[in-house]
Amino acid sequence: MLSDRPDWATDGRDWPHRDASRFVDAGRVRFHVQVMGSGPPLLLIHGTGAATHSWRDVAPLLAEHFTVIAPDLPGHGFTTGRPAGGLAMPAMAQALAALTATLGLPPEIIIGHSAGAAIAARMVLDGAASPRALIGLNPALMPFPGLAARIFPTLAKLLFVNPFAPHIFARIAATPGEVERFLTRSTGSRIDAVGVDCYARLFRRAGHCAGAITMMAEWDLDALYADLPRLALPVTLIHGAADAAVPADGVRHIAERLPDARVEMLPDLGHLAHEEAPALVAERILEAVQTAGQRSEVSSPRA
């Protein structure tokens, strides 16, 4: 019988960029984190249900220019332990700040995918990080509209209190082809076999599923949405136009709430755009970092 948590010796035996992996204790969390490259520190924050494998093709490209830091979030992948405050957004933000402080690598650039973009924003808003630019990939930064705003959080909380829910999800994930069908249906993306296999290894572990469910149950996008006008740094939102999870109109609306934001749409790509077209997304990230520096100079002219 499989154990509750993903196992590094078996599930991680040939994990993407295993040679860049290390385990770091920060506060109450033992992080699995990958560090590669040299240059200014750049923090990559994956989304709900993912792990470091999500950056398998983007990270090496960025490592040609930056020191890339890519952790598994608490509750996810091979990271163990629980931050003070659980898996709520502020607690996650503080946990990542503790990790980067322990590594001695305060991030100059933060990139978050989906819910990872919300954590990145919370880090800045709460003073847990002071990057010069923030980039959101298919960012989940606003509450679900209308009736869904009540249904989805309630569903997550019901799953959270049901001890069998993670095990049910893990059993479903063990069905051949089910993980690939789920990813395509829920994200609008088609990713390579390596990525599907990594997601399948994680989803087959009830502990990983429980981490994703708990994170959803403790999420508070309403508070983040109210705070977004205080996010006073250059923000670039890169979004796959075929995203089945986060609507493009919502991303444009978020940009309007931010003091300094721009949106770039990527045609024909879904919610996992960075896994579908890593070279294109890495190119857009590098352009966004360069543009952010120019925007900062314009907004803060020298006396």
H helix runs in the chain, sequence order: 58-62, 89-103, 115-125, 148-161, 165-173, 178-187, 193-203, 206-217, 221-227, 248-257, 273-276, 278-299
Which residues, in sequence order, are CB contacts of 182 under 8 Å at separation 6+? 173
Digit-coded pLDDT (tens) for 119-172: 999 999 999 999 999 999 999 998 755 434 444 454 445 455 555 555 556 676
Digit-coded pLDDT (tens) for 269-281: 999 999 999 999 9
Model pTM score? 0.90
Of the candidates 41, 70, 40, 65, the one whose C-alpha atom is nearest the C-alpha of residue 55 is 70
- Contact of 52 with 26, CB cutoff 8 Å: no
Catalogue all structural domains in the chain, each as residue range(s) with its CATH number.
Answer: 18-299 (3.40.50.1820)
**Strand pairing report for 41-45 and 133-137:** unpaired
C-beta neighbour count of 194 within 10 angstroms: 14
Lowest mean per-residue pLDDT among 101-105, 145-149, 247-251, 284-288: 145-149
Q: Return phi, psi of residue 2, to 5°.
A: -70, 145
Which residues, in sequence order, are CB contacts of 119 under 8 Å at separation 6+? 45, 73, 89, 92, 93, 96, 112
Q: Return phi, psi of residue 34, to 5°.
A: -110, 135
